[in-house]
Amino acid sequence: MIGSSVAFRKRSWTVLLLGLLTTASPAAFAADCPGHPDALGTSRTIVVDPHEHPRIGTMQYRETLPLKDHEVVLTFDDGPLPKYSNQILQMLADECIKATFFIIGEQAKANPEGVRKLVAAGHTVGTHSMTHPLTFDRMPLDKAEAQINGGIEWTSAAMTDSSKLAPFFRIPGLMRAEGVENLLISRGIQVWSADFPADDWRHVSPDRVYQLAIQRLEAKGKGILLLHDIQPRTVAALPKIIRDLKARGYRIVHVVPATAERPATPTTAVEWLLHPPTETTPIARWPAVPNFVFTQTERLPAPGLADLNAQTAHQSLLPRKTMAQADVAATLPVPGRDLFVIPEGSIEVLLSTTLSRRAATRLAMAAETPHAKGKAARMQARRTAHAAHAAPKHSAHSKGATPRPTRVASLKKRAQ
């Protein structure tokens, strides 16, 4: 009993500690930030394989990083520029935040020490072309490749250990082009966009940069934030952004590339979507029909009509009445020729022409009152008879004469 009681208490403490770790507040992550107990810190690190997910950032692509709700990845472009990059680097160090930097080749060439500081601080370093041209969407592929290679060469040359350069690339100005993307992907380089910017490259105030960053993050709930470490407005806005991230319960995530010694973080395909679909969320379209692979592709011949009655055992499946009705069309008599003959002067003939329609109507009315008397009845009969004789193409016939067929009927006879 004593042993089981001790074991139970150990299990209880283990469950409690695991619960505290999984539900820890941002302040708990500051324990790894000496001298800054209230630091935001970095909640976790995810390892990504560029070959498995070559394009990320919902500003342009379908997928983004596999972040949980209220998780943020900070990224900075265009540095290093000592005047401003060093200040941002110090702010991140004070909060024990790890970020991702996309370096310009010319900046690395002019300030290699700035690149080395980023690596020494544990940040992820990618590239951002050689000179930051805003024409990647229409640039010849050979020139684009030269820009990509220049940025990689000068950034890696600035490092003490060139293996620290991450295979991450962000196209300048996000001026994406399919040829450039395919080139990068073929070389195992992951193309980064973003989930939301803060417009810190525009001529806006630091307060506006701060407002846009928080508003857009709140609208998305998580994602990759695009900033620039060469702008004074970014230096002024970053403390406010970090303060609000902390107050609103957001957590910082660090991203590193996979290597042979460091495999990618296990994820599912749906985690790479910004807002994965759930059972309670209606989908906008039907799911795609899968393409099945059949082991045998030979087609069977279609059955012939003779095959349907080849076996007498199958005939019993049909009711006898149905079988009898199947031969009805073959036993019907052929209609006679006089079936289609319409007597001349009949109401049907008169109704077939516009001028005789009124006369036919009057004849029909007179036939309904054969015993009508008086002058009005006689006058009506005379008018009706006169209209019948005056109808075009319909002459009167003597009493007892055989009605002559209509022209239509005659043509049918002649055709037979």
Give the model's pLDDT for residue 32. Answer: 75
∠ at Cα 353 (350, 358), nearest 5°?
A: 60
Give the model's pLDDT for residue 42. Answer: 97
Residues 164/202, Cβ–Cβ less than 8 Å: no
Q: Report which DSSP code applies to 343.
A: B
Mapping DSSP onto H, E and C, the string for 323-337 reads HHHCCHHHHCCCCCH
Distance from C-alpha of 412 to C-alpha of 410, rounded to nearest angstrom: 5
Give the model's pLDDT for residue 52. Answer: 97
Q: Would you report the helix, strand and coil content of the chain in percent, each value rounded to 5?
A: 45, 10, 45
Secondary structure of residue 53 in the 3-state scheme: coil
Nearest in space to 70 (alpha carbons), one of 277, 244, 258: 244
First to last CA, the chain: 113
**Residues 28-52: tens digit of each pLDDT:** 444 578 888 899 999 999 999 999 9
What tokens does 199 get? Answer: 């417009």
What is the chain's mean pLDDT, rounded?
80
Confidence bin at 356 (pLDDT 50/70/90)? low
Q: Which of 66-75, 138-147, 256-265, 273-282 has the lowest mean pLDDT?
A: 273-282
Q: Is 166 left (phi over 0), alpha (psi -120 to 50) or beta?
A: beta
Residue 234, judged by CB atoms within 10 A of its CB (0-12, 13-18, 19+), counts as buried
Q: Which of 180-184, 240-244, 302-306 has the lowest mean pLDDT?
A: 302-306
For residue 62, give Cα distances in angstroms to 71, 195, 218, 263. 18, 10, 20, 24
Residues 127/165, Cβ–Cβ less than 8 Å: yes
The DSSP element (H or E) to which 226 belongs, if any, is: strand 223-228
Higher pLDDT, residue 347 or 151: 151
Instruction: Please give the share of the chain, as a percent, with pLDDT higher than 90.
Output: 57
Give the model's pLDDT for residue 362. Answer: 72
Give the model's pLDDT for residue 9. Answer: 45
What tokens does 346 get? Answer: 């009949």
Residues 108/117, Cβ–Cβ less than 8 Å: no
**Residues 80-128: tens digit of each pLDDT:** 999 999 999 999 999 999 999 999 999 999 999 999 999 999 999 999 9
Distance from C-alpha of 390 to C-alpha of 250, rounded to nearest angstrom: 100
What tokens does 59 get? Answer: 């500003």
Confidence bin at 197 (pLDDT 50/70/90)? very high
Confidence bin at 383 (pLDDT 50/70/90)? low
Phi/psi for 209 (5° steps) reads: -60, -45
Per-residue pLDDT, averaged over 201-225, amounts to 97
Give the model's pLDDT for residue 18. Answer: 40
Distance from C-alpha of 228 to C-alpha of 170, rounded to nearest angstrom: 12
Higher pLDDT, residue 22 or 410: 410
Nearest in space to 159 (alpha carbons), one of 214, 200, 101: 101
Distance from C-alpha of 300 to C-alpha of 298, rounded to nearest angstrom: 7
Whether residue 2 has pLDDT greater than 90: no
Whether residue 13 has pLDDT greater than 50: no
Query: How many Cβ atoms from other residues are within 10 Å of residue 218's Cβ?
Result: 12
Instruction: Please give the share of the chain, as a percent, with pLDDT higher than 70.
Output: 61
